[in-house]
A and B are shown apart, each in its own frame.
Chain A
Amino acid sequence: MAIALAVSPTRMELLKLKQRVGLAQKGHDLLKEKMDALVIEFFEVLRRIQEARMKAFDQLSVAHRALSMGFAVVGTLETKQASKETKRELQVEISTRHIMGIAVPAVEVGEVERSALVRGYGLHMTSSVLDEASREFERALKLLIELAELEASAFAIVRELEKTKRRVNALEYILIPRLREALKFIMMRLDEMERENFTRLKRIKAMMEKRE
């Protein structure tokens, strides 16, 4: 139940309140449109996340199979040693792009796949099977970066969606009903005052007629 605002029952206040209701209603309608648009964006990002996740998982399973092969051919210790020697830097450029004013991360990654010579591990103690496993993991890394970008976008959209929904609800269930309640109160009070005046005038008229 909406609690009425404390207002003075005047015509000026009535006009002001009507303007406020109009503004609140306009804000509510537009924010609802924004909310709908955000939902469309969110579902689209969600769809892309599902695709990206499937691709990344497939690639990771391929990479793990290749790694198991590496363990078998090169040996566990040698593979672990090679992994410690591998260069772990990757150049990524993180900027932001905007979806309806929401800043979402945009990750631009250069070439993730490297040649065996650039990776950093010694070639004399390893085999081409390990190179293959590294290549598969690098491919998986690229997909994981894309997935991370999409997931961050989804979080940003959801945060904005939550904020917008809270505002829409506040307008729909609190502010607009309160304003309408106050509007109704003023209108009823003004009608009542008009009736009082009318009765008073009638009584005065009757009294004056009696005196004459």
Chain B
Amino acid sequence: MSADRLIKFELSKLNVHLPERRLSLKEALSSAKPQVVSRDGSVHTFKREELEFLAGLLPEADRDKLQVPILIALEPKLGRGTARISGEAEVKVVSQVLEKELTAVELLIYRPEVAILRRKLPTTTQYLFLW
């Protein structure tokens, strides 16, 4: 395999762990086994305690706006170690988890904060690699 094909292959594999369709928090909470199917066909299961923790951070009306897993978008053009959280409900939740000031519909977080976020929400967050 040539180097270029190898790079393209590696890039194509970067996001295979992402779900084909995300669930709203409301759907996930009402499901007996909250899980999503990833692009590679594997099943990703959410921990119920985490879903309940997220539900506690949001008002009832916003629960169908929050999509899980929350995507931590890593984009080289933002700079190494910088991640972006998009979506109104997602930003609200992440700001509360990280005890940050609430901003617009987009939030930039940095490596130590990514580590904290992943520690607190290991199954309800996932990395997304963008280019």
List residues of B whose CB falls within 8 A of some A CB: 3-4, 7-8, 10-11, 13-14, 16-17, 38, 40, 42, 44-45, 74-76, 80-81, 111, 114-115, 118-119, 122, 126-127, 129, 131
Q: Mark A76-111, 1 if CB is under 8 A from B, else 0.
A: 000000000000000000001111110100000000
Answer whether residue A173 sits at the interface, using C-beta atoms and an 8 A cutoff.
no
- Contact partners of B80 in chain A: CB under 8 A: 32-33, 36
Answer whether residue A27 sits at the interface, using C-beta atoms and an 8 A cutoff.
yes
A36 and B115 alpha carbons, distance in the complex (Å): 10
Which residues between 161 and 179 of chain A lie within 8 Å of chain B, taking CB atoms? 167, 171, 175
Is the CB–CB distance between A31 and B131 below 8 Å? no
Is the CB–CB distance between B10 and A26 below 8 Å? no
Answer whether residue A44 sits at the interface, using C-beta atoms and an 8 A cutoff.
yes
A29 and B42 alpha carbons, distance in the complex (Å): 27
Q: List 28 A-B contacts (CB under 8 A).
A: A23-B8, A24-B3, A24-B4, A26-B7, A26-B76, A27-B7, A27-B10, A29-B76, A30-B14, A30-B129, A31-B10, A32-B80, A33-B80, A33-B129, A34-B127, A36-B80, A36-B111, A37-B114, A37-B127, A44-B122, A97-B42, A97-B45, A98-B44, A100-B126, A100-B127, A101-B14, A101-B40, A171-B7
